[in-house]
């Protein structure tokens, strides 16, 4: 099959974009034409070779209309593991979690099968960035929100976009809670437990998180700028896209997080950060 090049604008659900990214590979439509899906085929499930079992899905018709690419190269070079190599999908006009890294297999299905991010992180299944389809809506009302805040116990709860700015939530139990896009700006969260919680895109700017535990948490896209993190434990946490210091001069009004040698972040987690974030954290931890 002929190799094609696509130039697409990447839109990440963690609030950054990269215009004009160049990928090369094989059109998914050509692969499907060769495989001849049965008449009842309506959805595609893309499955990765990864320890977390990452996956995502698309309606078959959408995949064809969007001209999905099965990519082998990025910016003229073979795909590195960091960019999803040796094989990944690239889906234009959708948030980038629909473009799967480390592609292992494509399944043709009659019924949709929610992917990892949609099932575990609550990401929107349609993922249209122009409609800001980032999250599904959780089944919880404002009265329940207030009650949980008073009890300081979010454990196991789905609290999309919870509003807890400036609150004293010392010792909060948020183990295994889903706190996507949560607002904890300037909150007091000393010794809070966020173990195995989903804090993707959470706003923790200026929060007091001294002694907090984030073991095994999903902190992807979380904003820790200006937060106190002395004695915080990020063992096993995912930090892809997390922010600890201003990324650009335009963010100069933001403070850097307070880290020191007592803050535990594993070396492999540092590799998930941007070069600016990684350099700051290394200096702060004395590495």
Split at pLDDT 50, 70, 90, the class of 251 is low
Single out the residue in 94, 128, 162 at which a domain terminates. 128
Task: Specify the CATH number for the domain of residue 154.
Answer: 2.160.20.80
Asked if pLDDT for residue 120 goes beyond 80, the answer is no
Around 226, how many Cα atoms within 13 Å sit in the side-chain half-sphere?
15
Domain around 282: 137-287
Picking from 77, 109, 128, the residue at the C-terminal end of a domain is 128
Torsion of CA 104, 106, 109, 113, to 10 degrees: 50
**pLDDT higher than threshold 90 for residue 184:** yes
Based on the fold, state whether residues 141 and 255 are members of the same structural domain: yes
SS3 of the chain: the string is CCCEEEEEEEECCCCCEEEEEEEEEEEHHHHHHHHCCCCCCCEEEEEECCCCCCEEEEEHHHHHHCCCEEEEEECCEECCHHHCCCCEEECCCCCHHHCCCCEEEEEEECCCCCCHHHHHCCECCCCCHHHCCCECCCCCCHHHHHHHHHHCECCCCECCCCECCCCECCCCECCCCECCCCECCCCECCCCECCCCECCCCECCCCECCCCECCCCECCCCECCCCECCCCECCCCECCCCECCCCCHHHCCCCCCECCCCCECCHHHHCCCCHHHHHHHHHHHCC
pLDDT, tens digit, for every residue of 193-221? 999 999 999 999 999 999 999 999 999 99
Q: Which residue has the higher pLDDT, 268 or 161?
A: 268
72 and 165 housed in the same domain:
no
pLDDT band at 59 (very low <50, low <70, confident <90, very high): very high
Confidence check: pLDDT of 141 > 70: no
**Arithmetic mean of pLDDT, 227-256:** 88
pLDDT classification of 142: cutoffs 50, 70, 90: low
- pLDDT at 139 (0 to 100): 54
Q: How confident is the model at residue 160 (pLDDT cuts 50, 70, 90)?
A: confident
- 18 vs 191, which has greater pLDDT? 191
- Considering the chain, what percentage of its residues have pLDDT values greater than 70? 95
């Amino acid at each position: 099959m002929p190799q094609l090049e696509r130039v697409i604008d990447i839109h990440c659900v963690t609030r950054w974009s990269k215009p004009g990214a160049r990928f090369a590979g094989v059109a998914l439509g050509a692969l499907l034409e060769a495989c001849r899906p049965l008449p009842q085929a309506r959805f595609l499930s893309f499955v990765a070779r990864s320890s977390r079992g990452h996956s995502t899905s698309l309606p078959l018709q959408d995949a064809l209309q969007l001209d999905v690419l099965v990519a082998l190269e990025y910016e003229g070079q073979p795909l590195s593991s960091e960019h999803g190599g040796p094989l990944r999908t690239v889906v234009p006009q959708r948030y980038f979690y629909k473009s799967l890294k480390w592609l292992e297999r494509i399944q043709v299905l009659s019924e949709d099968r929610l992917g990892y991010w949609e099932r575990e992180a609550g990401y929107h299944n349609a993922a249209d960035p122009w409609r800001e389809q980032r999250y599904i809506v959780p089944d919880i009302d404002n009265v329940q929100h207030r009650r949980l805040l008073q009890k300081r116990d979010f454990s196991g709860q789905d609290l999309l976009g919870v509003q807890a700015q400036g609150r004293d939530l010392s010792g909060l139990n948020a183990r295994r809670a889903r706190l996507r896009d949560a607002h904890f700006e300037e909150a007091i969260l000393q010794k809070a437990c966020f173990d195995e919680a989903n804090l993707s895109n959470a706003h923790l700017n200026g929060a007091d998180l001294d002694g907090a535990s984030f073991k095994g948490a999903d902190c992807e896209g979380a904003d820790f700028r200006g937060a106190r993190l002395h004695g915080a434990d990020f063992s096993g946490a995912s930090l892809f896209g997390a922010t600890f210091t201003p990324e650009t001069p335009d963010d100069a009004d933001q403070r850097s997080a307070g880290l020191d040698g007592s803050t535990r972040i594993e070396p492999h987690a540092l590799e998930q950060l941007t070069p600016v974030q990684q350099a700051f954290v290394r200096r702060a931890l004395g590495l």
